[in-house]
Chain A
Amino acid sequence: MMLLQDKYRIAVLAAYALALHGFEGLLPMPIPWLRLGLANIITLVALMLYGFRTAITVTLIRVIIASIFTGTFLGPAFILSFGGGVAGTAAMGLALLIGRNVFGPVGLSLIGALFHNAGQLVLAYFLFIQRIEAVLIISPVLILIGTLTGVTNGVISDLLIKNLTRPDEDAAVFPTTGPSTE
């Protein structure tokens, strides 16, 4: 059962995620494939602080609303984002299940990025591009980019979490009362 506190939390987190997503869209990118995935920082932080339910909800809200705003809702880009987002979040959640101290934020972020890309590739292959050669050729590049952005996002997430779990000011900006039990 969702407490008001959780709903509030999710809403704020989703807002941050959307903001990051929008910000990322404004950045001039020389390479079109270079998805920084900044919004995944929010997903990861949500996962580590508040649990899987919150994280997946935030991700889904972000993906859906972002696609509504860009007018690509239910289009191919949406399907890929959706699939990738679910895959990445689920993988991270599972990784945490293995043990809370096995992977740190950096490792989790890497897993998230990896499965996000993998999910997108698999969906793209089955739904859009039936040419396995194209998929195989592009995978190493995606893995490399994913690893680099994964590390970056992981580091940022780590810093965020450390700053947020300090019991002091800014509680109003970012709701930080421990993980809810659900």
Chain B
Amino acid sequence: MKKTIRDTTVADRLLFVLLIAAAVAGLFISREAMSQSNDVIVEINGSPAYTFPLTTDRTFTVQGALWETVIEIKGRKVRIKEAHCPNRICVREGWVSKGAIICLPNRVVVVVGGTGRSGKDIDAVTG
């Protein structure tokens, strides 16, 4: 085994070091980028209304098109806690850590880790 390591060429070792360094650097870069896409975006009537970090546990209520929806963020997961839709499908979805929960009649969408207003580059909305 030791002989094998000694038999590695200059190029071998350089390549190894470079790759490790690149991987580590890449990890740091992507971690910076990742810390921003850990957002819970609540869309009401199709527009992102609120943005919350996935990292902070909280329970809050939003006013949808027809009634109030209670949303809970806990342990980096989101769920719709209470809703007044007839089927309660959104509540039954349970905890979600990636993707979206949709409450169709109330027009409330809870999106985890994605972009809000489908690609449109808007920083805030007035009105």
In the complex they form, do A and B come into direct contact, defined as C-beta atoms under 8 angstroms apart? yes
B contact patch SS: helix
Give Cα A133 to B38, complex, Å: 13
Interface hits, A78-122 → B, CB 8 Å: 101-104, 106-107, 110-111, 114
- Taking a contact as CB atoms under 8 Å apart, the answer to whether B15 and A144 are in contact is no
Does A32 sit within 8 A of B, measured CB to CB?
no
> Closest chain A residue to B26 by CB distance?
A140
| Minimal beta-carbon separation of B8 from chain A (angstroms) | 5
- Starting from the known contacts A103-B12, A140-B26, A143-B26, 15 additional A-B residue pairs (CB-CB under 8 Å) come to A101-B9, A107-B8, A110-B15, A133-B37, A136-B30, A136-B33, A137-B33, A140-B22, A140-B27, A144-B20, A144-B23, A144-B27, A155-B1, A155-B5, A159-B1
Does B34 sit within 8 A of A, measured CB to CB?
yes
Count B interface residues, CB 8 Å. 23
- Taking a contact as CB atoms under 8 Å apart, the answer to whether A140 and B24 are in contact is yes
- Taking a contact as CB atoms under 8 Å apart, the answer to whether B16 and A151 are in contact is yes
By a CB distance below 8 angstroms, the chain A residues around B27 are 140-141, 144
Give Cα A21 to B20, complex, Å: 26
Q: Given A133-B37, A140-B30, A143-B19, are A103 and B9 also a contact pair (CB < 8 Å)?
A: yes
Interface residues of A (CB under 8 A from B): 101-104, 106-107, 110-111, 114, 133, 136-137, 139-141, 143-144, 146-147, 150-151, 154-155, 158-159, 162
Give Cα A114 to B8, complex, Å: 18
Give Cα A24 to B12, complex, Å: 26
| Minimal beta-carbon separation of A37 from chain B (angstroms) | 15
> Closest chain B residue to A136 by CB distance?
B30
Give Cα A141 to B29, complex, Å: 12
Instruction: Out of A114, A140, A141, A159, name the residue touching B4 (CB < 8 Å).
Output: A159
- Taking a contact as CB atoms under 8 Å apart, the answer to whether B19 and A139 are in contact is no
- Taking a contact as CB atoms under 8 Å apart, the answer to whether B37 and A107 are in contact is no
Give Cα A105 to B52, complex, Å: 50
**What are 19 A-B interface contacts by the 8 Å CB criterion?**
A103-B12, A104-B7, A106-B8, A106-B16, A107-B8, A107-B12, A110-B12, A114-B19, A137-B30, A137-B33, A140-B22, A140-B26, A143-B26, A147-B16, A147-B19, A150-B19, A151-B16, A155-B4, A155-B5
